[in-house]
Structure 1
Amino acid sequence: MKVKDQFTVVPEGSITTPQGFRAGGLHCGLKKTNRFDLGVIVCEVPANAAGVYTLNAFQAAPLRVTQDSIAVDGKLQAMLVNSGNANACTGQQGEDDARSMRAAAAKAFGVAEHHVGVTSTGVIGELLPMPKVLGGIEKLPAEVKADGGEDFCQAILTTDLVQKMTCVRLSVGGKTVHIAGAAKGSGMIHPNMATMLGFMTTDANIDSAQLQKLLGGVTDSTFNMITVDGDTSTNDMVVVMASGLAGNDSLTPAHEDWAAFEAGFRFVGEYLAKAIARDGEGATKLIEVNVAGAQSQEAARAIAKTVVGSSLVKSACFGADANWGRIIAAVGRAGQPVNTETVDVRMGDISVLEQSRPVRFDEERAAEYLKGELVQIHVNLHMGSETATAWGCDLTYDYVRINAAYRT
């Protein structure tokens, strides 16, 4: 059986489908509307945990608090998140507020303080209105439930238009295991963590060290391969919690079902990454760039990200203009080895460049293809065997409108 056949997507699954997890959300007053702005994922037991974080030098206070929590014993039992305020660039007061949120959540849910993670998303540089936040945390336990995945997803949104979640099921050592994920992100998205927050849960038995290695590898090929606007946020984070309640033998790369588990884990990461790119602010389409024939994985990834992040390529896709010159220009400025005599470029199945020479193609057919909701650009360098895929979206008038008035 092929690895891709060893897990099944659970259509109605959510972040609470894996055994031991509940979630919920409510409105505490951070957003001007009555949309939920405070949410939590809670596990019945301290769960093995792992996290990856933004590479932005101005890392928000909640990320440091979460890293401190996981560092104690590699476990989390509750993950608290607010939207509407990033608690970033807020100095010592911001750090104190994040720690107050952690302490309040620990008290509300009856768990150890170092078993609580905290994260925030929203406007940078404003202090949290802590009376509203702490009041909301006190009310959260009553809103947490086994089917609270959608409420949690609503609570983490900012400029997102849609909720983003998925879940898969597979067998590990004869035990049924689930892996689920939820994410938010629409703008300020760029490789090296994309304003993106990702949350994954699983009931698999896997220790924190193995979970960290797996998350790091999957992040490099999924969350770190998306871009909307070239901006890396102060608050980006992906955290995974593993309850172990499926009862399987501990998963390691030596386990006979490791490949299937890794494939399911990677599917969840890729699904969420693509959903974020597809929901880019003002976007009308998802752009996927596939690079083949590179000399190294690093080169393939760098070229794919450069092409999908090009404002000119994104604008051409929005305007349904098959301007392959913008693609080849992006390939050439990616800072990676390129043989300028051997590059092929396709848009979908329409060849526009072969061996770095223009190919006659039907402009009307190409324009029609570019009007679709998914645009796939294929670049073959013919220099090696390495490949990579990156995802992004088109650049539209609405992107400027949304971000010109973000704080108002």
Structure 2
Amino acid sequence: PAALADAQQEHWARAAEGIMTTDTIPKAFSTQLQIGGATVSVTGISKGAGMIRPNMATMLGFLATDACIAPALMRQLVRELADQSFNRITIDGDTSTNDSFVLLATHKAQHAPITSLDSAEGSALKAALLQVSQQLAQAIVRDGEGATKFITVRVEGGKTGEECRQVAYAIAHSPLVKTAFFASDPNLGRILAAVGYAGIADLDQTLIDLYLDDVHVAVQGGRNPAYREEDGQRVMKQSEITVRVVLGRGDAADTVWTCDLSHDYVTINADYRS
């Protein structure tokens, strides 16, 4: 009864706090858009800080909108949103026994029902939902246990999106790569090694280029002659870093988000027991 009595529309922040475990901050985002002359709201909360990797991670996500959308579209929509947000994050490469991402639509907004995600209205709603979903997912990475840096891993030039993700996760899951980021060490060999052992059988290493933000560090699989160590270290000292790998195999690309691996991660998980 107390929980039901506390179910107020302005209590999103309290709900975000209520689902926290090893999180250090509550995670909530909201946006609005116009559909058919009506103001539509999108609001969500999430929780997670460790044991985060797609396929049953210790995370929860709840996303709600007052948009009028055909119920038949919801299953497809929630899967597409998850695939481009919560299924693109990793903190430690570990998983748990449960996770949930729930999408709700109340149909309270005063506009004509959306019956196709390909319509202008459907595309606009999906874009707003995806924006909040990615903010919620990235907030989990930013609050990763012991994390000090937010890292975007972008792999381009693959034959398929699947192999791009395969390479991106090899980098994002590597303890050697993640500890190098914590130390602000531009250890190019660790990143290139992860690309190599990602499992692409016919990978041609002489086609690979590697960038740290705006710094071109490797050309055709080897060190860029123009690369300077101080440029790489400048990027590695930032709190937000983009690693971009160009495979030179095709036109596919994909992105995952991760963090560094610090002393505090070990301390938290040595002391914490659920």
Which TM-score bucket, shorter chain as reference? over 0.9
CA deviations on 1:74-100 (whole Å, 9 max, x unpaired) are xxxxxxxxxxxxxxxxxxxxxxxxxxx
Q: Residues 66-105 of structure 1 correspond to what in structure 2 (within 5 A)? A: none
Partner of 2:173: 309
Gap change, CA 1:254 and 1:397, over 3 Å in 2: closer
Q: In the alignment, is residue 232 of structure 1 matched against residue 95 of structure 2?
A: yes
Which of 194, 197, 207 aligns to 2:60? It is: 197
CA–CA distance in structure 1, aligned partners of residues 20 and 268 of structure 2: 15
- Secondary structure, aligned partner of 1:257: helix
Partner of 1:170: 33
Partner of 1:356: 221
Which of 117, 141, 159 aligns to 1:253? It is: 117
Question: Could you tell me whether the CA contact under 8 Å between 1:194 and 1:223 is conserved in 2?
Answer: no
Partner of 1:371: 237
| Unaligned runs of at least 5 residues, structure 1 | 1-137
| Aligned residues: CA RMSD | 1.4
Which of 381, 388, 399 aligns to 2:265? It is: 399
Q: Give the counterpart letter for 1:351 in structure 2.
A: H
Which of 330, 338, 342 aligns to 2:203? It is: 338
* 1:141 CA drift (Å): 2.5
CA–CA distance in structure 1, aligned partners of residues 117 and 104 of structure 2: 18
Which of 144, 152, 158 aligns to 1:280? It is: 144
Q: Give the counterpart letter for 2:92 in structure 1.
A: D
Q: In the alignment, is residue 223 of structure 1 matched against residue 86 of structure 2?
A: yes
- Secondary structure, aligned partner of 1:338: coil
CA deviations on 1:221-245 (whole Å, 9 max, x unpaired) are 2111111111112121100110010
- Corresponding residue pairs, total: 271
Question: Could you tell me whether the CA contact under 8 Å between 1:194 and 1:224 is conserved in 2?
Answer: no
* 1:159 CA drift (Å): 0.6
Q: Give the counterpart letter for 2:7 in structure 1.
A: V
* 1:193 CA drift (Å): 4.5
CA deviations on 1:317-339 (whole Å, 9 max, x unpaired) are 00011011111111122223522
Q: In the alignment, is residue 210 of structure 1 matched against residue 76 of structure 2?
A: no
- Secondary structure, aligned partner of 2:207: coil
* 1:254 CA drift (Å): 4.2
Partner of 1:265: 129
Partner of 1:52: none
Structure ranking higher on relative contact order (CA contacts 8 Å, 6+ apart):
2
* 1:391 CA drift (Å): 0.5
* 1:362 CA drift (Å): 2.3
- The range that moved more, 307-316 or 256-265, is 256-265
CA–CA distance in structure 2, aligned partners of residues 368 and 340 of structure 1: 26
CA–CA distance in structure 2, aligned partners of residues 313 and 229 of structure 1: 12
Q: Give the counterpart letter for 2:180 in structure 1.
A: A
User: 4+ residue stretches of structure 1 with deviation over 3 A?
Assistant: none
CA–CA distance in structure 2, aligned partners of residues 386 and 213 of structure 1: 22
Partner of 2:104: 241
Q: In the alignment, is residue 380 of structure 1 matched against residue 246 of structure 2?
A: yes
* 1:280 CA drift (Å): 0.6
| Bigger radius of gyration | 1
Question: Could you tell me whether the CA contact under 8 Å between 1:223 and 1:270 is conserved in 2?
Answer: yes
CA–CA distance in structure 1, aligned partners of residues 118 and 160 of structure 2: 27
CA–CA distance in structure 2, aligned partners of residues 319 and 343 of structure 1: 25
Question: Could you tell me whether the CA contact under 8 Å between 1:226 and 1:305 is conserved in 2?
Answer: no
TM, length-normalised to structure 2: 0.94
Q: In the alignment, is residue 329 of structure 1 matched against residue 162 of structure 2?
A: no
- Secondary structure, aligned partner of 1:341: helix
Q: Give the counterpart letter for 1:333 in structure 2.
A: Y
Q: Give the counterpart letter for 1:348 in structure 2.
A: D
CA deviations on 1:142-200 (whole Å, 9 max, x unpaired) are 32322111111110101111111111111122221111111000000012243100000
* 1:286 CA drift (Å): 0.6
Partner of 2:20: 157
CA–CA distance in structure 2, aligned partners of residues 201 and 377 of structure 1: 33
- The range that moved more, 301-310 or 279-288, is 301-310
CA–CA distance in structure 2, aligned partners of residues 308 and 254 of structure 1: 33
Which of 212, 217, 220 aligns to 1:347? It is: 212
* 1:250 CA drift (Å): 2.0
Question: Could you tell me whether the CA contact under 8 Å between 1:159 and 1:186 is conserved in 2?
Answer: yes
Question: Could you tell me whether the CA contact under 8 Å between 2:141 and 2:259 is conserved in 1?
Answer: yes
| Unaligned runs of at least 5 residues, structure 2 | none
CA–CA distance in structure 2, aligned partners of residues 350 and 254 of structure 1: 38
Question: Could you tell me whether the CA contact under 8 Å between 1:285 and 1:393 is conserved in 2?
Answer: yes
